[in-house]
Amino acid sequence: MFRCDFVSQKKVPKEVENNHRNISRIAGQVWRGLTPDERRPWVDLAAAAKVEHDRHYPQYKFFP
């Protein structure tokens, strides 16, 4: 969720935008630089999305 929003807000230079590995690396660096209070909304959104997913797909099991 954080990475998607990070890209949609155009915080990544155009020359990097097509290389998803670099986008993930940059977003990860930004994430690690956030304070716990800055991360909280994203953690809460992820938890809400997990609850919603579990409600819609109760039998789903992840198999890597």
Domain boundaries, the chain: 2-56
pLDDT given for residue 20 in this prediction = 76
pLDDT in tens, 14-27: 766 667 777 888 88
pTM of the model: 0.69
pLDDT in tens, 34-64: 999 999 999 999 999 999 999 999 999 988 8
State how far the Cα of 22 lies from the Cα of 28, in Å rounded to an integer: 10
Count the neighbouring beta carbons within 10 Å of the beta carbon of residue 24.
Answer: 13
User: For residues 37 and 13, is the Cβ–Cβ distance under 8 A?
Assistant: no
Give every CB contact of residue 42 below 8 A, 6+ residues apart in sequence: 1, 2
More confident residue, 50 or 4: 50
Length of the chain: 64
